Amino acid sequence: MADNLLDAIQLRKEFGGLVASNNVDFAIPRGSIVSLIGPNGAGKTTFFNMLTGVYKPTAGRILFDGEDITGKPPHAITERGIGRTFQNIRLFPLMTAVENVLVGMNCRLRGGIIGAIIRPPRVRREEKLARERARELLAYSGLPTRHTELARSLPYGDQRRLEVARALATEPKLLLLDEPTAGMNPQETADFIGFVSRLPDDRGLTVLLIEHDMKVVMGVSDRVTVLEYGEKIAEGTPGEVQRNERVIEAYLGKGATE
Amino acid sequence: MLALWLLINLVKDPTEFFSVAVIGLTNGSVYALIALGYTLVYGILQLINFAHGDVFSLGGLLSATVILDAFDLTAASSAVAIVIGVAVSLLIAVAFSSALNTTVELVGYRRLRNAPRLAPLITAVGMSFILQNVGLYFWGPNYTSTDNLIPNSAAFSIGGVDFQWDNLVVILLTMPLLLALTWLVTSTRQGKAMRATSQDPEAAAMMGINVNRTISFTFALAGGLAGAAGLLYVLQFTTIRFDQGFQLGLIAFTAAVLGGIGNLAGAVLGAVIIGLIEAFNEGLEWHAAGSDWTRSIVFGLLIAILVFRPEGLLGERTPEGA
Amino acid sequence: MSTARATFTERWRQLPDVVQRLALPALVLLLAILYPWYFGGLPGAFPAVETAVIMLIFTVMALGLNVVVGYAGLLDLGYVAFYAAGAYVAAWLASVQFEQVTFHLGSIGIVDTLPGIHISIWIVLVAAALFTTIVGVLIGLPTLRLRGDYLAIVTLGFGEIVPQVVRNGDDFGGFDLTHGTFGISPIDSIGFGNTLNDTLGLPASYQTSTNRAELFYLTALALLLFTVFCSVRLRDSRLGRAWIAIREDETAAAAMGVPLMRTKTWSYATGAFFGGLAGAFYAVFKSGAFPSDFFFNFSIFILCMVILGGMGSVWGVIVGGLVLSYLDREGLAKVGSFASDVLNRPIDVPKYAFGVYGAIIVAMMLFRPAGMIPEKRHRLEIDEGVESAAVASAEQGGDGRRGDG
């Protein structure tokens, strides 16, 4: 694990008797784009939820940037530098786009309750800078206007972009994207994948993509890991994975049932 | 500590201890019927139906009126008249409370099924106040009292502990209701539909279950039990007032939580425990806090359970926690 | 006629933005400050000054509860606990209740040898608010982890326990904490004392002043303004955003780095602060803390104000608070006597007050869940020029009401 930003070691999660993640080993090299794929119900989201602290693993450890973050609460993990989006968009619907992004900055800002009421120059300055930065992030994520609209009144594609901007606002080292292209048309998907591929160079980010559609990630990923029924069945470069027999089987099986 | 306190009381005066326990058991039976209503509704909608206690008190008030005005029953009435009168008021109370509870769901909660979780909860609080005031309007601010229809005399006694008729009747009427309910939920089609809906309403709907009807049925069932509890309460205590339901409802809710909300057997167990706690606290001689503190003790217990063991005595830990 | 109006509108638009924005609030404020002096000329339906004091106090409480329910989305059904705690702290610190000790600090209008604790009411108000804040934190820490509906029931439990403790608290092993059902009375007067009266002309003692009602009114108004100021400042801050994020989606908020427990506890503590402050001032106004004031229904009454006005909406909650407390103290009775006159038979409307509140709650949740004056987040950024036009037109309903923010 020479220069891995994240190492998951023998990660296991059981729900009652059901094993949703069966001792999975998983690593994300710094500065890379890694994808976690697998058919629906393969345990991708469970795995994701363990990394982000939503679930506590039954067993195993997660090391992030040299620190053990196993079982830490979500906000503590975010504070350490893991930002995320949600598969089924989860914005704060009655807040504006800018405010959504500002919530993402929550753990990078310092203003407390007394500061909020008295509003000394220090807090004013912090707020002003934060708002400017929020607008930059929105523009960077492909949302140059409509910053003061409520999140719920934005069109679907813009909501996705807003979610990414919000995740970037947490100043992550590692960005987790959970099926970010779900519901996008082919053109939007291509644009989005282009955007993701620039993130490591632009902002020094490492990216973990979760997808059930293999085709989406093949172009951008440095490495691909395939899950099925909570087990890791293959790992390697996109080319290697595509030729892997178990992967083909898993996906053909899936194709037959869909 | 608690066990020790109970033990000392037991040793000091065993007759008193068991007499008090019988009272606790009786109260527990009434609580059980109310608690089941909370648990049924919570199980299916994850909603604390605050109005449930008021359905109970309206059921009780109505049955008191039936006893007083329709049958004109007094302690001097013949046994046959009392049995018939009580049976008819039971039916009326059950029918009325079922209809009322179903209406509450239809008017208040149905539209909010997909609203944020707080919305139906707040509505339930409002509903409770509306029902209380309905009671206030029709029955006035004072207690409605009946004669003591079932004698307080001992039916039989074991080792000096009297089993009074009124306690006995309440317990004997509760048991078949509980058994019938268990059978209904576990063995009938409608019961299976209820369980399916409570686990996953969407999947249940896809399997051809009429979710709306199932939920209405659940409210009807819960209301019916509350109505029966209302009548039993009147038989036991002979008085009832419009605002008593809210308090009793909260106590019953505590019982449901204690047993594990959503769990039928748990509700009954919890209710019996709460009934006993209450009776011991108010009835025992040696170092009991007394009735001034009963509510604090019950709600203190409620808070303690929710904080330390939210799944209750018989509930299961859900995989994803809170 | 219409041209005159058009010219007026045009001129109005040309005024600086600040003037446009502040004109209406300034006018309202002016009318509020002067109320006791023109009240006499108004029709009988307007509340008496004494009633207005209570309306203002209750509105402070509603705003405090709004921080918990409206901002953070935590249903607190036991807010009366803070109200009671504040009132009793005031009573403990400024009456003869603890006659075992004699301690005076800045108290006015009493002899120095009077037993009991007698601290200046100004300090007492702050102490009561801070005390209830701590109580709020202590209650919050174990319970805020619970899911929303469980939290509701736990707070309800506290709302039941506290009044019972107050009622039965006259004999803790011989120690009289709350003086039982009698309550603690009288409480020392609020005022500035003789020295400040002589030098600055400030009122020496409210209770003995000939302008008692007016003095309490102005002080209550100041408290309300302070509460509004804090509410607005908090709403537009990092903490306020975190609260609202939790209300909107707890999981997403946590994933964005919002510490749930700490943030919720802050909201609970803030709500408790204002509840305690209002409770203490109420006790001082009535010169006593009486257990009959603290019953469970009171929590629902305050909640109803928040729901009627609009959860999270500061201006909405103010309106909701004033309207409901007016109804409670005078309005329902007036409606009742009016209805009795018209229908020519006695109708006791106040008797059904809580039925009315219950009906309001249900009707609002079913037909207008956002309240009479819904919260409007985007107004915060109205100063950002270009986009506001687009916002106004895209806004749902688009009635262009100049309300929140």
Three-state SS annotation for chain B: CHHHHHHHHHHHCHHHHHHHHHHHHHHHHHHHHHHHHHHHHHHHHCCCCCCHHHHHHHHHHHHHHHHHHHCCCCCCCCHHHHHHHHHHHHHHHHHHHHHHHHHHHHHHHHHHCCCCCHHHHHHHHHHHHHHHHHHHHHHCCCCEECCCCCCCCEEEEECCEEEEHHHHHHHHHHHHHHHHHHHHHHHCHHHHHHHHHHHCHHHHHHCCCCHHHHHHHHHHHHHHHHHHHHHHHHHHHCEECCCHHHHHHHHHHHHHHHHCCCCHHHHHHHHHHHHHHHHHHHHCCCCCCCHHHHHHHHHHHHHHHHHHCCCCCCCCCCCCCC
Share of chain B above pLDDT 70, in %: 97
Res B142: pLDDT: 92
The total of structural domains in chain C comes to: 1
Phi, psi of C97 (to 5 degrees): -55, -50
- Which of B202, B193, B244 lies closest to B53 in space, CA to CA? B244
Per-window interface: B 137-166 vs C, CB < 8 A = 137, 141
* Domain-located, residue A176: yes
Is there a contact between A16 and B320 if contact means CB atoms under 8 Å apart? no
Q: For residue A76, which residues of chain C lie inside 8 Å, CB to CB? A: 259
Same domain, A180 and A247: yes
Per-window interface: C 137-176 vs B, CB < 8 A = 142-143, 145-150, 152-154, 156-158, 160-161, 164-165, 167-168
Shortest CA gap C93–chain B (Å)? 26
Is there a contact between C358 and B137 if contact means CB atoms under 8 Å apart? no
Residue in A54, A119, A149 nearest the CB of C394 = A149
The total of structural domains in chain A comes to: 2
Residue A78 near chain C (CB below 8 Å): yes
- We report the CATH number of the domain holding residue B295 as 1.10.3470
Sign of CA dihedral A69, A72, A78, A83: positive
Res B221: pLDDT: 94
Residues spanned by the domain of B287: 2-308
* Domain-located, residue C38: no
- We report the CATH number of the domain holding residue C76 as 1.10.3470
Round to whole Å and give the CA distance between C398 and C377.
Answer: 14
Shortest CA gap A15–chain B (Å)? 6
Is there a contact between C255 and A54 if contact means CB atoms under 8 Å apart? yes
Per-window interface: A 134-193 vs C, CB < 8 A = 145-150, 153, 166-167, 169-170
Residue C258 near chain A (CB below 8 Å): yes
Determine contact, residues B93/B227, Cβ cutoff 8 Å.
yes
Res C2: pLDDT: 61
Is there a contact between A111 and C394 if contact means CB atoms under 8 Å apart? no
Q: For residue C391, which residues of chain A lie inside 8 Å, CB to CB? A: 148-149
Q: Which of B38, B46, B118, B295 to mutate to test the interface with C (most CBs of C within 10 A)?
A: B118
Nearest C-alpha in B relative to A14: B319
Residue A43 near chain B (CB below 8 Å): no
Q: For residue B296, which residues of chain C lie inside 8 Å, CB to CB? A: 160-161, 164-165
* Domain-located, residue B221: yes
Residues spanned by the domain of A15: 4-81+172-257
Residues A89-146: tens digit of each pLDDT? 999 999 999 999 999 999 999 888 999 999 999 999 999 999 999 999 999 999 998 9
Q: In 10 A of CB C119, how many CB atoms?
A: 18
Q: Is C367 helix (H, G, I), strand (E, B) or coil?
A: helix
Shortest CA gap B11–chain C (Å)? 26
Round to whole Å and give the CA distance between B306 and B317.
Answer: 13
Res C252: pLDDT: 95
Strand ranges in chain B using DSSP code E only, listed in sequence order: 144-145, 154-158, 161-164, 239-240
Q: For residue C270, which residues of chain A lie inside 8 Å, CB to CB? A: 113
Is the pLDDT confidence value at A245 over 50? yes
- Which of C277, C272, C274, C238 lies closest to C258 in space, CA to CA? C238
Q: Which two tokens stand for residue C88?
A: 């009793």
* Domain-located, residue B259: yes
* Domain-located, residue B82: yes
Res B308: pLDDT: 85
* Domain-located, residue A89: no
Share of chain A above pLDDT 70, in %: 97
The domain boundary, picked from A169, A191, A225, lies at A169
Model confidence band, residue B14 (pLDDT cutoffs 50, 70, 90): confident
Is there a contact between C388 and A112 if contact means CB atoms under 8 Å apart? no
Residues spanned by the domain of C252: 47-295
* List of chain C residues with pLDDT < 50: 379-405
Residue C289 near chain B (CB below 8 Å): no
List subunits contacting chain B, requiring 3 or more Cβ pairs under 8 Å: A, C
Model confidence band, residue A151 (pLDDT cutoffs 50, 70, 90): very high
Q: For residue C307, which residues of chain B lie inside 8 Å, CB to CB? A: 122
Q: For residue C304, which residues of chain B lie inside 8 Å, CB to CB? A: 126
The total of structural domains in chain B comes to: 1
Q: For residue B48, which residues of chain C lie inside 8 Å, CB to CB? A: 149, 152-153
Residue A63 near chain C (CB below 8 Å): no
* Domain-located, residue C87: yes
> In this predicted model, which residue has the larger pLDDT, C14 or A161?
A161
Same domain, A72 and A178: yes
Determine contact, residues B112/B105, Cβ cutoff 8 Å.
no
* Domain-located, residue C402: no
The domain boundary, picked from A118, A143, A169, lies at A169
Chain B positions touching chain A (beta carbons under 8 Å): 319-320
Mean residue pLDDT across chain B = 87
Which residues 6+ apart lie within 8 Å of C114 measured at CB? C96, C102, C104
Amino acid letter, residue A219 = G
* Domain-located, residue C127: yes
Is there a contact between C366 and B303 if contact means CB atoms under 8 Å apart? no
Per-window interface: C 32-71 vs A, CB < 8 A = none
Give the mean model confidence (pLDDT) for residues A245-250: 82
- We report the CATH number of the domain holding residue A73 as 3.40.50.300
Residue A192 near chain B (CB below 8 Å): no
* Domain-located, residue C128: yes
* Domain-located, residue B314: no
Residue C389 near chain A (CB below 8 Å): no
Nearest C-alpha in A relative to C233: A117
Same domain, A66 and A192: yes
Per-window interface: A 25-44 vs C, CB < 8 A = none
Round to whole Å and give the CA distance between C297 and C79.
Answer: 10
Res B117: pLDDT: 81
* Domain-located, residue C277: yes
Res C120: pLDDT: 92
Which residues 6+ apart lie within 8 Å of C386 measured at CB? none
Shortest CA gap B166–chain A (Å)? 46
Phi, psi of A219 (to 5 degrees): -65, -35
* Domain-located, residue A87: no
The tally of CA atoms less than 13 A away on the side-chain side of residue A57 is: 27
List subunits contacting chain A, requiring 3 or more Cβ pairs under 8 Å: B, C
Give the mean model confidence (pLDDT) for residues A51-62: 92
Is there a contact between C154 and B300 if contact means CB atoms under 8 Å apart? no
* Domain-located, residue C199: yes
Same domain, A142 and A33: no
Share of chain B above pLDDT 90, in %: 39
Q: For residue C238, which residues of chain A lie inside 8 Å, CB to CB? A: 102, 106, 109, 111, 116, 127
Residue B112 near chain C (CB below 8 Å): yes
Is there a contact between C251 and A90 if contact means CB atoms under 8 Å apart? yes
Residue A55 near chain B (CB below 8 Å): yes
Is the pLDDT confidence value at B285 over 70? no
Which residues 6+ apart lie within 8 Å of C164 measured at CB? B292, B293, B295, B296
* Domain-located, residue C106: yes
Residue C295 near chain B (CB below 8 Å): no
Q: For residue A153, which residues of chain C lie inside 8 Å, CB to CB? A: 394-396
Strand-strand pairing, A67-68 and A59-64: antiparallel
Nearest C-alpha in C relative to B106: C366
Residues B231-264: tens digit of each pLDDT? 999 988 889 999 999 889 988 998 998 888 888 8
The tally of CA atoms less than 13 A away on the side-chain side of residue B290 is: 4
Res B321: pLDDT: 33
Same domain, A12 and A63: yes
